[in-house]
């Protein structure tokens, strides 16, 4: 009994650690997926590999997810469906450790730094009810149709607050097959992560609230303005004190030219 319980605990721990998945539906001929599925790939590794595929600099040196026979070739079209709310979507994907390392804003900023901000096209679908789930395929097809086909990366995030995994997988595959038939050279992938963006934002906000310190915030120009006002005020104060001192110690009879020039002269006959 204890042995079975220990196996169950270990299995649950392993399952909770590997709470992410990458599914490569289609890729160009010069790309191949890594065959080593037990090397502890993380979501951060996926993000860095994606940046490298797009010809961008990776944040850190990561484990390879793809191998390319043409190093300088960039996929003409990359589709990334980001499903949030599940540990995994299928049994055929590559297991990832979900370290919350994927951030589309980071990819966007890198594209913007090389003046290719328009190379990213984004969309989102939120499923919160059975009605949303039933209409998911139509909604997804509309989002795909609205995407700029000239964009280098087409990113669609699917937030699953109330999803049925089998229906989601079936309807997503239908749309993916349509994309592959229309763009045979496209790279089409699905990234699955457990936490939704709203959960991550709430957790990050809570962490910031714990670490925040109560202090007065000053602008970067505060030292300059302080010195300007302080020394100007000090100089004016010294000038006023000097003027007041001179007037207090002034002898009207001998120190001013006004009284000396207007002194009456005695008339001599």
**pLDDT tens figures, 122-175:** 888 988 888 889 899 999 999 999 988 888 899 999 988 888 888 999 999 999
In a domain, 97, yes or no: no
- pLDDT range class, residue 11, cuts 50, 70, 90: very low
- pLDDT range class, residue 263, cuts 50, 70, 90: low
What are the DSSP calls for 154-204, one per residue? EEEEEEESS--HHHHHHHHHHHHHHHHHH-TT-EEEEEEESS-HHHHHHHH
Report the pLDDT averaged over residues 98-122. Answer: 80
In a domain, 10, yes or no: yes
Question: Tell me, what's the pLDDT at 211?
Answer: 53
In a domain, 199, yes or no: yes
Per the structure block, which two tokens stand in for 138? Answer: 């139509």
Q: Tell me which DSSP letter residue 57 carries.
A: -
Is 206's pLDDT higher than 70?
A: no
Is 44's pLDDT higher than 70?
A: yes
Residue 176 to residue 190: CA distance in whole angstroms: 10
Is 96's pLDDT higher than 70?
A: yes
Question: Tell me, what's the pLDDT at 172?
Answer: 92
Cα–chain-centroid distance for residue 237?
51
119-133, 188-202, 225-239: least confidently modelled range: 188-202
What residues make up the domain containing 185? 2-36+46-82+120-209
Is 7's pLDDT higher than 60?
A: no
CB proximity list for 53: less than 8 A, separation 6 or greater: 31, 66, 74, 75, 78, 187
In a domain, 221, yes or no: no
In a domain, 106, yes or no: no
Q: Select the more confidently predicted residue: 259 or 138.
A: 138
Question: Tell me, what's the pLDDT at 82?
Answer: 92
Question: Tell me, what's the pLDDT at 207?
Answer: 52
Cα–chain-centroid distance for residue 176?
27
Question: Tell me, what's the pLDDT at 231?
Answer: 95
66-70, 213-217, 226-230, 250-254: least confidently modelled range: 213-217
- pTM exceeds 0.75: no
- pLDDT range class, residue 101, cuts 50, 70, 90: confident
Of 124, 115, 178, the C-alpha closest to 154 is 124
* Alpha helices, DSSP H, located in 33-135: 43-53, 104-113, 130-134
Is 219's pLDDT higher than 80?
A: no
Residue 196 to residue 157: CA distance in whole angstroms: 10
Is 97's pLDDT higher than 50?
A: yes
Question: Tell me, what's the pLDDT at 60?
Answer: 67
CB proximity list for 178: less than 8 A, separation 6 or greater: 141, 144
Please compute, for residue 176, the number of CA atoms within 13 A of its CA located in the half-sphere on the CB side.
21
16-20, 203-207, 241-245: least confidently modelled range: 203-207
Q: How far is CA 97 from CA 79, 100, 161, 228, 244, in A?
A: 22, 9, 21, 55, 77
Of 243, 244, 263, 245, the C-alpha closest to 253 is 263
Report the pLDDT averaged over residues 207-235. Answer: 74
In a domain, 76, yes or no: yes
In a domain, 195, yes or no: yes
Instruction: Compute φ and ψ for 25, nearest 5 degrees.
Output: -75, -35
**What is the domain count for the chain?**
1
- pLDDT range class, residue 16, cuts 50, 70, 90: very low
Residue 252 to residue 79: CA distance in whole angstroms: 93
Please compute, for residue 55, the number of CA atoms within 13 A of its CA located in the half-sphere on the CB side.
17
Q: Select the more confidently predicted residue: 192 or 101.
A: 192
In a domain, 217, yes or no: no
Q: For the chain, where are the E strands, in sequence order?
A: 20-26, 31-33, 66-68, 78-84, 94-95, 120-127, 153-160, 187-193
Question: Tell me, what's the pLDDT at 5?
Answer: 45
Cα–chain-centroid distance for residue 162?
26
């Amino acid at each position: 009994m204890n042995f079975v319980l220990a196996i169950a605990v270990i299995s649950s721990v392993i399952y909770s650690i590997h709470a992410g998945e990458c599914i490569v539906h289609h890729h160009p001929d010069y790309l191949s997926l890594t065959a080593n599925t037990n090397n502890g790939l993380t979501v951060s590794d996926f993000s860095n590999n994606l940046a490298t595929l797009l010809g961008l600099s990776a944040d850190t040196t990561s484990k390879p997810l793809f191998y390319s026979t043409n190093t300088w070739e960039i996929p003409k079209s990359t589709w990334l469906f980001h499903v949030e709310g599940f540990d995994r979507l299928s049994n055929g994907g590559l297991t990832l450790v979900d370290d919350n390392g994927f951030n589309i804003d980071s990819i966007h900023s890198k594209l913007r730094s090389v003046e290719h901000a328009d190379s990213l096209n984004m969309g989102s679908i939120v499923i919160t009810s059975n009605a949303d789930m039933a209409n998911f395929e139509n909604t997804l097809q509309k989002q795909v149709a609205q995407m700029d086909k000239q964009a280098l990366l087409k990113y669609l995030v699917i937030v699953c607050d109330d999803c049925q995994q089998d229906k989601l997988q079936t309807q997503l595959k239908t749309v993916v097959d349509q994309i592959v038939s229309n763009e045979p050279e496209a790279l089409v992938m699905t990234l699955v992560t457990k936490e939704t963006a709203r959960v991550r934002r709430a957790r990050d906000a809570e962490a910031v609230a714990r670490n925040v310190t109560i202090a007065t915030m000053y602008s970067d120009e505060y030292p300059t303005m302080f010195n300007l006002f302080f020394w100007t005020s000090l100089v004016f104060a010294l000038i006023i004190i000097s003027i007041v001192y001179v007037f207090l110690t002034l002898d009207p009879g001998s120190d001013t030219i006004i009284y000396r020039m207007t002194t009456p002269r005695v008339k001599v006959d």
